[in-house]
Amino acid sequence: MSDADPTIPAGIPSAEEKQWALFAHLSTLVGGLLTGWFYGIGFFIGPLIIWLIKKDTMPFVADQAKEALNFAITVSGASLVLLMLTVMSLGIGILVTGPLMMIIGIAALVFVIIAAIKANEGTAYRYPISLRLVK
């Protein structure tokens, strides 16, 4: 019996696939920086575009772009919930939600960098905290 995860594509990814997978993970950071980290609007656009373009031709890239997309959606959702809590508390909740947003932002940065390094090595990376919404 094999211990291989059926969700991870088999085979060794080419240099081009590794590079596209790296771009899929790093595009979350670029999108977040360009559109504003806290609202997460652009956080998931890069992985979504890469996934849509490469999903039929590069299985490793499709897998990693989908993983980055799920993580970006998770982080964006958490940020949106914290923002709504801040607004609903008339700003007083910022004492709790502000530090939580910073922790989420730092954790996301660390996880994305780890994922980018792993993707560049040709290893399929799974974010430890991520909702698997896109399958």
d(CA 37, CA 75) in angstroms, rounded, equals 10
d(CA 42, CA 89) in angstroms, rounded, equals 26
- Per domain, the residue ranges of the chain are 15-121
Q: Looking at the predicted structure, is the pLDDT value of residue 22 above 90? A: yes
Pick the residue with more confidence: 47 or 34?
47
Least confident piece of the model among 41-45, 90-94, 121-125 = 41-45
Q: What is the pLDDT of residues 74-107, one digit of tens each?
A: 988 888 899 999 999 998 989 999 999 999 989 9
For residues 51 and 7, is the Cβ–Cβ distance under 8 A? no
d(CA 104, CA 100) in angstroms, rounded, equals 6
Query: What's the confidence (pLDDT) of residue 33?
Result: 78
Q: What average pLDDT does the segment 49-59 reach?
A: 93
Query: What's the confidence (pLDDT) of residue 134?
Result: 84
For residues 55 and 62, is the Cβ–Cβ distance under 8 A? yes
Distances (CA, A) of 27 to 31, 37, 68, 112, 124: 6, 13, 9, 9, 17
pTM of this structure: 0.84
Q: What is the pLDDT of residues 107-119, one digit of tens each?
A: 999 999 999 999 9
